[in-house]
Amino acid sequence: MRQVELSVIVPMRNEARNLGPLLDRLRPVLDRLDLPAEVICVDDGSTDGTADMLKMAHAVDPRVKAISLSRNFGKEMALAAGLHEARGRAAVLMDADLQHPPELIERFVALWREGWEVVYGQRRDRQADGPLRRWLSTAFYRLFALVGQTELPPGAGDFRLLDRKVIDALNAIEERTRFTKGLYSWVGFRQVGVPYDVPMRSGGSSRFSLLALWRHAVDGITAFSTIPLRVWSYLGLLVSAVALGYGLFIVVRTLLYGTDLPGYPSLMVAIMLLSGVQLIGLGVMGEYVGRIFAEVKRRPLYLVRETVGFGEPAGSRPAGGELRLAAVGGSRVDGPGLREE
Ligand code: UDP
Ligand code: MG
């Protein structure tokens, strides 16, 4: 078998009807590039027959390979699964809904050959998203720029090419809360952006609800910043200082003018405000403790039900000695959480 040069990784959640149009546009691009390529489709717990479509696609074009996860693990984990299985000297990550134009891959590969290790697509605008989502995402990126300890290039998403060095670096990261956008920046390497316009989704609607995006945003902040944890001590200091000043003021005033009627409303406001602030602080602590809990359990990132097109036996992977496969109940259990001691 020829060494694969380029792995295209496509996470898929119920994308059965997008698979055909996607491959129709992707295949000519790969043909033109004339590289030994593989297309790794990660079926992320689809219920619409995506897995069967993938088997048919593999029969037609053996470059198409499939990994079916045992349930829906989310896009970040689907990408992690694809990156672990990728054998190429470079990998392109792209969505299945044609919002990431396959033709751009040629440009990515050209820049990669010039020596860039990460080539990311940069959205010029987000017209394809609704106004609320656009506004929320702008707000998130502003906040992230403020508190995040890693810089995110504007408009950069998952559509990108990664060199083998970067793939290995990402595969070595064992974080369970995977905010991949942040990890791409965190690993460093020589990076360059390619601007592109995002077309409308080719079929169905976005697989992410606002609630899912909110959770993703909290994951992002907590994974890349400890400022939310530390801000409470400063707030506490400030509130204590104000309280101390106010206490002194009351003592002095009582000494000079005696007592007047005690102020019930101001007392209530102070109690409610302070208990509210304390609960928020506790909640933020909880967010981090919950994530520490998830990390120390060291569960595998994802579980694989079946794979199609990966003929070779487990263990023959280029991705550094860190990663091993284990057989559980006939299917393969994967992820950096499992190691041979
Ligand atoms: N996706 C996935 N698992 C999920 C949700 C989404 O693999 O739990 C895939 C989806 O099939 C698509 C890509 O991630 O290929 C981007 O999803 P979508 O287009 O719904 O997101 P948006 O474009 O709105 O960010
Ligand atoms: Mg989309």
Q: What is the pTM of this model?
A: 0.72
Beta carbon of 208 within 6 Å of any ligand 1 atom: yes
- What is the pLDDT, as a whole number, of residue 336? 43
Residue 179 reports pLDDT greater than 50:
yes
Beta carbon of 206 within 6 Å of any ligand 1 atom: yes
- What is the pLDDT, as a whole number, of residue 339? 36
Beta carbon of 15 within 6 Å of any ligand 1 atom: yes
DSSP state letters, 48-88 = SSHHHHHHHHHHH-TTEEEEEESS---HHHHHHHHHHH--S
Q: What's the CA gap between 341 and 305, in Å, rounded? A: 24
User: What is the best residue among 207, 209, 213 to mutate for testing ligand 1's pocket, by most ligand atoms within 8 Å of CB?
Assistant: 207
- What is the pLDDT, as a whole number, of residue 312? 55
Q: What is the mean pLDDT of the chain?
A: 81
Per-residue pLDDT, averaged over 67-76, amounts to 91
Hey, which of 22-26, 31-35, 151-155, 179-183 has the most confident mean pLDDT?
Answer: 22-26
* 126-135, 189-198, 279-288: least confidently modelled range: 126-135
Per-residue pLDDT, averaged over 287-303, amounts to 84
Q: Which of 69, 96, 77 is nearest to 307 (CA)?
A: 69
Q: What's the CA gap between 134 and 155, in Å, rounded? A: 12
Q: Which of 114, 112, 100 is nearest to 156 (CA)?
A: 100
Residue 332 reports pLDDT greater than 80:
no
User: 202 CA distance to ligand 1 centroid (A)?
Assistant: 12
Residue 99 reports pLDDT greater than 80:
yes
When pLDDT is cut at 50, 70 and 90, the band that residue 119 belongs to is very high
- Could you report the per-residue pLDDT of 197-218, keeping only the tens digit for each? 887 777 667 767 778 888 888 8
- What is the pLDDT, as a whole number, of residue 266? 74
Residue 328 reports pLDDT greater than 70:
no
Buried b (16+ CB within 10 A) or exposed e, 129-155: beeeeeebeeebbeebeeebebebeeb
Per-residue pLDDT, averaged over 10-35, amounts to 90
Per-residue pLDDT, averaged over 42-57, amounts to 90
> Encoding tokens for residue 238?
């400030």
> Encoding tokens for residue 215?
């959770």
- What is the pLDDT, as a whole number, of residue 314? 43
Q: Which of 129, 283, 172, 296 is nearest to 218 (CA)?
A: 283
Work out the number of other CB atoms within 10 angstroms of the CB of residue 295: 14
Residue 129 reports pLDDT greater than 80:
no
> Encoding tokens for residue 177?
């809360």
Per-residue pLDDT, averaged over 104-131, amounts to 86
Residue 104 reports pLDDT greater than 80:
yes
- What is the pLDDT, as a whole number, of residue 93? 95
Residues in the chain: 341
Per-residue pLDDT, averaged over 22-34, amounts to 89
The residues with which 192 forms a beta bridge, in sequence order, are 119
- Residue 50 near residue 12 (C-beta atoms within 8 A): yes
- What is the pLDDT, as a whole number, of residue 2? 62
The residues with which 119 forms a beta bridge, in sequence order, are 161, 192
Comparison of pLDDT for 23 and 338, the residue scoring more:
23
- Helix (H) / strand (E) element for 297: namely helix 264-297
Question: Which residue matches tokens 């506790």?
Answer: 282
Beta carbon of 201 within 6 Å of any ligand 1 atom: yes
Per-residue pLDDT, averaged over 256-270, amounts to 75
User: 44 CA distance to ligand 1 centroid (A)?
Assistant: 9
- Nearest Cα residue to atom 22 of ligand 1: 206
- Could you report the per-residue pLDDT of 186-202, keeping only the tens digit for each? 888 888 888 888 877 77
Strands (DSSP E) along 164-262, which ranges? 191-196
When pLDDT is cut at 50, 70 and 90, the band that residue 315 belongs to is very low
